[in-house]
Amino acid sequence: MVPPIVHSSNYRLKSAQHFVDIFKDGVYVYSRLSNPTCDEAQSIISLLEGAAGSVVFGSGSAAIGVALLSFLKAGDHLVICKPLYSGTYNIVTKYLEARYNIQVTFVSSDVNEYRKAVRPNTKVLYGETPCNPLSDILDLEAFGKLGQSLRGQVVTMVDSTYGSPYLQKPIKYGIDLSIHSATKYLGGHSDISGGVVSTRTREQWTEVMLSKEVYGSVLSPYEASLLIRGLKTLHVRMDRACDNAEKLADWLDKHPQVSRVYYPGLKSDPGHTVAKKQMRRFGAMISFEVKGGLIPAKSLVENVHIITLAVSLGGTESLIQHPASMTHGAWIMSDEERLDAGISPGLIRFSVGIENIDDLISDLTQAFNKYQSTTSKL
Summarised one tens digit per residue, pLDDT across range 226-266 is 999 999 999 999 999 999 999 999 999 999 999 999 999 99
Where is pLDDT greater, at 353 or 151? 353
Give mean pLDDT, residues 353-370.
97
Domain that holds residue 339: 234-373
237 among known catalytic residues: no
Q: What is the DSSP letter of 77?
A: E
Residues 151 and 242 in one domain: no
358 among known catalytic residues: no
Closest CA to 7 of 218, 314, 323: 218
pLDDT at 329 > cutoff 90: no
Residue 243: is it exposed, middle or buried by C-beta count within 10 angstroms (0-12/13-18/19+)? middle
Residue of 32, 115, 247, 370 marked catalytic: 32
Q: What confidence category does residue 373 fall into, taking pLDDT thresholds of 50, 70 and 90?
A: low
- Cα-based torsion angle of the residue sequence 138, 72, 192, 10 in order, rounded to the nearest 10 degrees: 150
Segment 152-196, tens digit of pLDDT: 899 999 999 999 999 999 999 999 999 999 999 999 999 999 999
Question: Would you say residue 358 lies in a domain?
Answer: yes
Residue of 39, 76, 159, 269 marked catalytic: 159
d(CA 313, CA 372): 28
Domain boundary (231, 266, 293) is at 231
Residues 207 and 301 in one domain: no
Residues 52 and 191 in one domain: yes
Q: State the average pLDDT for the chain.
A: 95
d(CA 32, CA 179): 20
Residues 94 and 183 in one domain: yes
Question: Residue 325 belongs to a domain with what CATH number?
Answer: 3.90.1150.10
Closest CA to 41 of 208, 221, 236: 221
Segment 343-359, tens digit of pLDDT: 999 999 999 999 999 99
Residue of 82, 169, 184, 338 marked catalytic: 184
Residues 66 and 24 in one domain: yes
Residues 133 and 266 in one domain: no
Question: Would you say residue 72 lies in a domain?
Answer: yes
Closest CA to 370 of 303, 317, 286: 303
99 among known catalytic residues: no
CB neighbours of residue 356 within 10 Å: 10
Residues 194 and 288 in one domain: no
d(CA 235, CA 227): 14
177: phi then psi, degrees, rounded to nearest 5: -125, 130
Residue of 76, 82, 85, 212 marked catalytic: 85
85 among known catalytic residues: yes
Question: Would you say residue 304 lies in a domain?
Answer: yes
Number of structural domains (the chain) is 2
d(CA 34, CA 39): 7
Q: What confidence category does residue 49 fall into, taking pLDDT thresholds of 50, 70 and 90?
A: very high
Question: Residue 72 belongs to a domain with what CATH number?
Answer: 3.40.640.10
Quote the pTM value. 0.94
Residues 44 and 148 in one domain: yes
Residues 279 and 147 in one domain: no
Residues 97 and 152 in one domain: yes
Residues 210 and 78 in one domain: yes
365: phi then psi, degrees, rounded to nearest 5: -60, -45
Residues 274 and 226 in one domain: no
pLDDT confidence of residue 103: 98
Q: What confidence category does residue 23 fall into, taking pLDDT thresholds of 50, 70 and 90?
A: confident
